[in-house]
Amino acid sequence: MSIHQSNIKRVTTHQLQEMKNRGEKISMLTAYDYSMARILDGAGIDVLLVGDSASNVMAGNETTLPITLDQMIYHATSVVRAINRAFVVVDVPFGSYQGSSSEALKSAIRIMKESGAHGVKMEGGAEIRKSILRVLSAGVPVMGHLGLTPQSIYKFGTYTVRAKEEEEAEKLIEDAKCLEECGCFGIVLEKIPRELAKKVSKEVSIPTIGIGAGPDVDGQVLVVHDMLGITQEFKPRFLRQYADLSGIINGAVTEYIKDIKSGDFPSDKESY
């Protein structure tokens, strides 16, 4: 059934703004594939981010840098097929928008056209202003991303909290205002002090979505594999783990192997 035939109201950028205006927190999780996206959408998540963290959690890379535009489009297409309600935003991957504003526009249009997603996310502030404006001018909703921006990990050198010093904090506030002025529909704030995130969220009118940015933002995002306990070795302070799926999967698979070895599976009932 298409959205036009169903009664489900899709989440839009307008609704996200209204949520901020009335003080309702926005829920956001990453998704990279059809089956997981279907479960998350069915549970009522507001925004699904096809994050370039797919490079880490799906492909096993150390950083987000290797994932390609084609690979992001593949993940995004699978997620879009699954959803009835959530707003789907897709990371424009490293190397596909930093070159020029026309490169950014081309990449964003490919994502929107080929995957059917509803918006894109780009990391950076004033330095990518031109690219953001160009993408927005084509009618593509853009979400910003400030603070710890993993595509710049080799510039930072570590994944520690960003903008603890005044100079970097001031630049972050200026960047947030720049993204708002450009017309971005929201900003992800990653791993910054909670007081700074609170200040930014007060000073800009568009929704801020935090990850490791404390409670005084307009919404929260986590990497779904981390919050479900599928990834085992990544346990930063900001992460709340809501399930231990790796333990559950391990238990189920151990049982399955045991049943095969003992001849218990398949039974008569499970045979034709």
Contacts with ligand KIV by CB under 6 A lie at: 30, 49, 51-53, 91, 188, 190, 211, 221, 223
4/175 with CB nearer ligand KIV: 175
Under a CB-based contact definition with an 8 Å cutoff, are residues 201 and 217 in contact? yes
Angle formed by the axes of helices 69-82 and 34-43, nearest 10°: 50
Instruction: Residue 208: name the closest of 239, 177, 240, 168 by CA.
Output: 177
Residue with nearest beta carbon to ligand KIV: 51
Q: How far is the CB of 110 from ligand KIV (least distance, A)?
A: 18
CB atoms inside a 10 Å sphere around CB 112: 21
Annotation marks residue 168 as catalytic: no
49/112 with CB nearer ligand KIV: 49
Please provide the DSSP assignment of 127-153 as one string.
GGHHHHHHHHHTT--EEEEEES-GGGH
Q: How far is the CB of 7 from ligand KIV (least distance, A)?
A: 31
28/169 with CB nearer ligand KIV: 28
140/143 with CB nearer ligand KIV: 143
Per annotation, catalytic residue among 18, 190, 203, 233:
190
Instruction: Residue 211: name the closest of 153, 162, 260, 271 by CA.
Output: 162
Q: How far is the CB of 91 from ligand KIV (least distance, A)?
A: 5
Q: What angle do CA 185, 145, 101 make, to 5 degrees?
A: 80
86/223 with CB nearer ligand KIV: 223
Instruction: Residue 115: name the closest of 153, 152, 76 by CA.
Output: 76
Q: How far is the CB of 262 from ligand KIV (least distance, A)?
A: 42
Q: How far is the CB of 212 from ligand KIV (least distance, A)?
A: 9
Instruction: Residue 63: name the closest of 175, 142, 172, 155 by CA.
Output: 155
Query: Which active-site residues does the annotation give?
Result: 190
